[in-house]
Amino acid sequence: MDDLDRRLINRLQLGLPLVRHPWQALAAELDSSSHELLDRLHELLEDGVLTRFGPMFDIERLGGAFTLAALAVSEDRFDAVAEQLHALPEVAHNYRREHRWNMWFVLGCLTEQGIVETLQRIENMTGLPLLNLPKEETYHVGLYFPV
């Protein structure tokens, strides 16, 4: 990773400019070209330096529903259960936690009833009890990790 990669990552954490041609605006800010920045972004994603680049939507404002949920998965089943969850379109992402409830995931559905049905389907599919952790309050925390 060179200086331009670092400046690109740092700048992207602040969001894209809300203009007709955001990559051209970023290129002017970073003394580069829009093609160079996009190529570098793709390389950072392919190399695994960045794991995701995309918009964040407020699913509730769009009329949908979501929840955070957790499973307590034995180590010998962890990868298999993670693959089961990964195959479900309702699961946004899942990750390991160092806790008895060691597999956490975010579930997004069109309705609250969809959440209930999908959680039940996951319990039936995995044979594991599920911990549902619905949002009680929204907090907006601006994270920024300079590189």
pLDDT at 8: 97
Q: Are residues 35 and 84 in the same domain?
A: no
Is the per-residue pLDDT at 44 higher than 90? yes
Is beta strand 130-133 parallel, antiparallel or unpaired with respect to 65-71? Answer: antiparallel
**pLDDT value at residue 145:** 86
Residue 53 inside a domain? The answer is no
> In terms of residue numbers, what domain contains 16?
3-46
* Average pLDDT score over the chain: 93
Q: Specify if 81 maps to a domain.
A: yes
Q: Give the mean pLDDT of 76-95.
A: 94
Domains contained in the chain, number: 2
Both 104 and 77 in one domain: the answer is: yes
Q: Is residue 108 part of a domain?
A: yes
The verdict on residue 55 lying in a domain is no
Report pLDDT for 132. 97
- Statement: residue 53 has pLDDT above 80: yes
Classify residue 18: in a domain, yes or no. yes
Is 113 a domain residue? yes
**Residue 88 counted as domain residue:** yes
CATH number of the domain where residue 92 is located? 3.30.70.3460
Classify 116 as helix, strand or coil: helix
Whole-prediction pTM: 0.67
Residue 54's pLDDT is what? 83
Secondary structure of residue 37 in the 3-state scheme: helix
One domain for residues 39 and 71: no
73 and 128 share a domain? yes
